Structure 1
Amino acid sequence: MTVMFNHTIIAAKDRDESARFFRELLEVPEAPSWGVFTNIQLDGGVLLQFAEPPVEIQMQHYAFLVDEDLFDRAYRRLCDRGITHWADPQMRRPGEINNEHGGRGVYVKDPAGHAIELITRPYL
């Protein structure tokens, strides 16, 4: 069997709000949720499971490879909703996207403060 990524748990201040943010940004469906998890499903059956931990949340970085059309729609939603975004991970270029690695990219913070990156071309 080859190795495939299956799921990860993302710490959230409000698991439903974070799951909704990701669903709307990435245009993915809800998935069955259970226990302390609110889930969404990516292509290939990958689950993102949002949970509210009893500890302070440390920022994580999550990068998503998206096609050009989804990037355009997601970026339009960010702009239309007035969501702060950056062209760089250091957050020095607000309100911009980048054109690195032969594609486009943008960084945004989710409701829990995690750094979300959307890219249209993989780095390698």
Structure 2
Amino acid sequence: MTVQLNHTIVAAHDKESSARFLADLLGLEVSPQYGPFMPVEIPNGVTLDYMDTPGDIAPQHYAFLVSESDFDTIFARIEDHGLTHWADPHHSRPGTINHNDGGRGTYFEDPNGHNMEILTRPYGSGG
């Protein structure tokens, strides 16, 4: 059996600006609106479908595995935007990156409070 994640819905107060925020940081494109969704397709075919959501949004976690060179590029964009970033998911180590499993990783929040992560090595891969 082959099982693959195809898409997930991301709650947002402004789906278009939220999708643009992520796409710009990751160097991706925002796809045309599809129904109530503003999709951002990740290169492995998974789509994050941003949807306008009224009221409070429960923060979720989204982790993106990137190459070393992509990490450098994305991390530079994070810093250029003046975004606070942390080495850990609990946001107790601000302004730094981690070196888990011999790679690099950092966390930052999107405009809706979702905890976004970029990492260069999957957790548990050793290093």
Normalised by the length of structure 2, the TM-score is 0.92
- Describe the SS at the equivalent of 1:72: helix
Percent identity, aligned pairs only? Answer: 50
Alignment correspondent of 1:72: 72
- Structure 1: distance between partners of 2:9 and 2:71: 24
Alignment correspondent of 1:7: 7
Q: Which runs of 4+ in 1 moved over 3 A?
A: none
Conservation of the 8 A alpha-carbon contact between 2:105 and 2:117: yes
Alignment correspondent of 2:44: 44
- Structure 1: distance between partners of 2:97 and 2:39: 28
- Structure 2: distance between partners of 1:23 and 1:61: 16
Deviation sequence 1:22-79 (CA, Å, 0-9, x none): 1011111222322211111111321110011234200101111011111101111111
Alignment correspondent of 1:58: 58
Deviation sequence 1:81-115 (CA, Å, 0-9, x none): 21111111111111101111110000000010000
Alignment correspondent of 1:109: 109
Alignment correspondent of 2:84: 84
- Describe the SS at the equivalent of 1:9: strand
- Describe the SS at the equivalent of 1:17: helix
Confirm or deny that 1:18 pairs with 2:18: yes
- Structure 2: distance between partners of 1:122 and 1:22: 20
- RMSD of aligned Cα (Å): 1.2
- Structure 2: distance between partners of 1:19 and 1:52: 11
- Structure 2: distance between partners of 1:113 and 1:10: 11
- Describe the SS at the equivalent of 2:44: helix
For structure 2, the 5+ residue unaligned runs are none
Normalised by the length of structure 1, the TM-score is 0.94
For structure 1, the 5+ residue unaligned runs are none
